[in-house]
Amino acid sequence: MLAQAPVAVSLLSEKDLRRQIDRAVSRALFDRGYASELLADPTIALEDHGCPPQQYLSLRGIEAIDVVDFAHQARARFWIDPLARQPRLSLRDLNQEEQRPLVAAAAS
- SS3 readout for the chain: CCCCCCCCCCECCHHHHHHHHHHHHHHHHHCHHHHHHHHHCHHHHHCCCECCHHHHHHHHCCCCCCHHHHHHHHHHHHCCCHHHHCCCCCHHHCCHHHHHHHHHHHHC
The reported pLDDT for the residue numbered 7 is 46
pLDDT > 60? residue 50: yes
Q: Is the pTM of this model over 0.85?
A: no
Average pLDDT value for residue range 4-32: 81
For residue range 60-100, list pLDDT tens digits in order: 999 999 999 999 999 999 888 766 555 665 555 555 555 55
What ranges do the domains of the chain cover? Answer: 14-81
The reported pLDDT for the residue numbered 72 is 94
CA distance 106 to 10: 57
For residue range 56-65, list pLDDT tens digits in order: 999 999 999 9
Average pLDDT value for residue range 26-41: 96
Residues comprising the chain, all counted: 108
